[in-house]
């Protein structure tokens, strides 16, 4: 009986020895290809034997180096994490893991790994490299943790039809309701528009961040001062971005005053998901839900639901987007159902940047609107089509200063002629970013 046991142990020993030799030979082949700068060949060999060798610290460290060289950062991170868990005294793998975290933009984890590595008994030359890398990572993380940009702008222009294009087709001035009529369609005037914009981003990890957007604007007219407007918009929310995927969730609030009296407030939530389909193409899905409160006329209180789909194309100097929107605005009060509407829209956006100095932007939208109930005065159901197009030129004459000019045309057709209008707006201005 003992003879059979001896033979079994002998053959098992031979088999294990052969397996170890085979594994060592495979590692030598992969290492030789990598050292000869044949990185693609080394990666192909490593993939062939991955299931067999993954989990051994020597293979994982080598596989991580290959992936790092090929810019396969996520794969490199996983490989080095396995290597150091099996062999904690592999200081080289620890250091390369920290570099992989940094390339992955996981700066918190990179900083933590480098700090841990400095506590270990490492060679002096490696310690110097680690300390330099740690200083770089700390500075980079601190710059990313808080990123705030601000812009102040002043534009002077001319509006050919000041009292047109509002959401509800009429405005309230000093408590008096003004319905669009023949005269109001030709209310042209000069204007000055002051704007302030703040964009803030606070990074949590390399993948997610908190975002803040604040816009303040004031428009003052030369003669028709009753149409002077102040508007404030704020959005605060969360952004998650990883590889080819991006998700945004924002809480929104805005308030508009007309003739120095509060006119309308709006609160809501907006969300978007973006998927990168190809190298230069992306798909965007977005939605928005909001509530509108009109401080001077409760008939205009409503809620809005929107769903959109967009396709983006982006290159170094070009950004283009085609989007489709489906929306519903429901009046809160039953007696105001004729203000409720369903709408569909299609839009195009195109931006082209010449190196560092000039940018040209074209945008256009076409919207079809159908109201929910017949008009109480004209006794018909309103159907309308609204189109607009704009062309903008921007010139950056320094890192902070920018000149811009924009021409916009708006046109609305309706089965009620009183609501139809044409409108042109032209302005020239400058902005300062800091």
How confident is the model at residue 289, as a pLDDT? 96
pLDDT tens-digit profile of 179-201?
555 544 467 889 999 999 999 98
Mean pLDDT of 72-100: 86
CATH 1.25.40.10 is right for the domain spanning 2-144? yes
How confident is the model at residue 235, as a pLDDT? 95
Q: Which letter, b or e, does each residue of 311-349 get, where b requires 16 or more Cβ atoms within 10 Å of its Cβ?
A: ebeeeeeebbbebebebebebbeeebbbbbbebebebeb
Q: Is residue 273 within 8 Å of 247, Cβ to Cβ?
A: yes
- When pLDDT is cut at 50, 70 and 90, the band that residue 64 belongs to is confident
How confident is the model at residue 174, as a pLDDT? 47
* pLDDT over 70 (residue 426): yes
How confident is the model at residue 325, as a pLDDT? 96
Q: What is the 3-state secondary structure (H, E, C) of the chain?
A: CHHHHHHHHHHHHHHHHHHHHHHHHHHHHHHHHHHCCCHHHHHHHHHHCHHHHCCCHHHHHHHHHHHHHCCCHHHHHHHHHHHHHHCCCCHHHHHHHHHHHHHCCCHHHHHHHHHHHHCCCCCHHHHHHHHHHHHHHHHHHHHHHCEEEEEEEEEEEEECCCCCCCCCCEEEECCEEEECCCCHHHCCEEEEEEEEEEEEEEECCCCEEEEEEEEEEEEEECCCHHHCEEEEEEEEEEEEEECCEEEEEEEEEEEEEECCEEEEEEEEEEEEEEEEEECCEEEEEEEEEEEEEECCCHHHCEEEEEEEEEEEEECCCEEEEEEEEEEEEEECCHHHHHHCEEEEEEEEEEEEECCCCEEEEEEEEEEEEEEEEECCCCCCEEEEEEEEEEEEEEEECCCCEEEEEEEEEEEEEECCHHHCEEEEEEEEEEEEEC
* pLDDT over 90 (residue 82): no
Mean pLDDT of 201-216: 86
- When pLDDT is cut at 50, 70 and 90, the band that residue 208 belongs to is confident
Distance CA 391, CA 404 (A): 11
Mean pLDDT of 20-39: 73
How confident is the model at residue 186, as a pLDDT? 60
- When pLDDT is cut at 50, 70 and 90, the band that residue 16 belongs to is very low
pLDDT tens-digit profile of 251-306?
999 999 887 777 889 999 999 999 988 888 999 999 999 999 988 788 889 999 99
Widest CA span in the chain: 114
CATH for 148-433, options being 2.40.160.40, 1.10.101.10, 3.30.9.10, 3.40.50.10800: 2.40.160.40
Equal CATH topology for 2-144 and 148-433: no
How confident is the model at residue 12, as a pLDDT? 44
How confident is the model at residue 270, as a pLDDT? 96
Percent of the chain whose predicted confidence (pLDDT) is above 90: 37
Q: Is residue 246 within 8 Å of 283, Cβ to Cβ?
A: no
Q: Look at 117 and 239; give whichever has higher pLDDT.
A: 239
How confident is the model at residue 179, as a pLDDT? 54
How confident is the model at residue 127, as a pLDDT? 82
Mean pLDDT of 26-35: 79
- When pLDDT is cut at 50, 70 and 90, the band that residue 406 belongs to is very high
pLDDT tens-digit profile of 331-389?
999 888 888 999 999 999 999 988 768 899 999 999 999 999 988 877 888 899 999 99
Reference 109, options 146, 74, 160; nearest CA is 74
* pLDDT over 80 (residue 114): yes
Q: Any idea where the domains of the chain sit in the sequence?
A: 2-144, 148-433
pLDDT tens-digit profile of 133-181?
888 887 777 666 567 889 999 999 999 888 775 544 544 444 444 555 5
How confident is the model at residue 172, as a pLDDT? 45
* pLDDT over 60 (residue 248): yes
Q: Which of 119-123, 223-227, 399-403 has the lowest mean pLDDT?
A: 119-123
pLDDT tens-digit profile of 293-318?
988 788 889 999 999 999 999 888 89
Q: Is residue 323 within 8 Å of 347, Cβ to Cβ?
A: yes
Token look-up 């570099």 returns: 99
Distance CA 198, CA 208 (A): 20
Token look-up 């028709």 returns: 224
């Amino acid at each position: 009986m003992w003879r059979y046991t001896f033979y079994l142990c002998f053959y098992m020993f031979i088999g294990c020895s052969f397996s170890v030799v085979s594994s060592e030979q495979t590692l030598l082949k992969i290492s030789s290809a990598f050292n000869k700068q044949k990185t693609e060949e080394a990666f192909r060999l490593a993939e062939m034997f991955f299931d067999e060798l993954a989990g051994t610290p020597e293979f994982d460290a080598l596989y991580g180096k290959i992936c790092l060289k090929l810019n396969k950062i996520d794969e490199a991170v996983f490989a080095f994490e396995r290597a150091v868990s099996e062999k904690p005294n592999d200081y080289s793998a620890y250091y390369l893991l920290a570099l992989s975290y940094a390339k992955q933009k996981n700066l918190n984890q990179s900083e933590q790994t480098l700090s841990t590595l400095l506590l270990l008994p490492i060679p002096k030359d490696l310690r110097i490299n680690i300390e330099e890398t740690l200083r770089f990572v700390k500075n980079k993380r601190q710059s990313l943790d808080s990123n705030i940009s601000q812009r102040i702008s002043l534009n002077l222009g001319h509006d050919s039809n000041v009292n047109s294009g509002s959401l509800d087709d009429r405005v309230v001035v000093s408590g008096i309701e003004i319905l669009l009529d023949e005269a109001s369609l030709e209310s042209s005037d000069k204007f000055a528009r002051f704007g302030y914009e703040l964009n803030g981003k606070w990074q949590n990890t390399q993948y997610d961040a908190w975002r803040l957007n604040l816009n303040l604007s004031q428009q003052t007219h030369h003669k028709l001062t009753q149409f002077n407007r102040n508007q404030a918009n704020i959005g605060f929310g969360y952004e998650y971005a990883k590889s080819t995927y991006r998700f945004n969730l924002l809480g929104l609030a805005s308030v508009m005053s007309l003739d120095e009296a509060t006119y309308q407030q709006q609160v809501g939530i907006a969300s978007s998901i973006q998927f990168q389909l190809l190298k230069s193409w992306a798909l965007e899905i977005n939605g928005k839900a909001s509530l509108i409160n009109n401080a001077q006329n409760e008939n205009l209180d409503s809620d809005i639901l929107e769903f959109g789909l967009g396709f983006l194309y982006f290159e170094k100097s070009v950004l283009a987007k085609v989007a489709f929107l489906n929306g519903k605005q429901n009046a809160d009060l039953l007696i105001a159902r004729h203000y409720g509407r369903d709408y569909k829209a299609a839009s195009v956006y195109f931006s082209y940047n010449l190196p560092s100095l000039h940018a040209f932007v074209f945008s256009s939208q076409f919207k079809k609107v159908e109201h929910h109930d017949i008009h109480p005065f004209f006794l018909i159901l309103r159907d309308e089509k609204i189109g607009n197009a704009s062309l903008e030129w921007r010139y950056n004459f320094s890192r902070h200063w920018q000149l811009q000019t924009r021409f916009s045309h708006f046109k609305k057709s309706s089965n009620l002629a009183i609501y139809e209008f044409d409108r042109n707006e032209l302005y020239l201005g400058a902005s300062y970013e800091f």
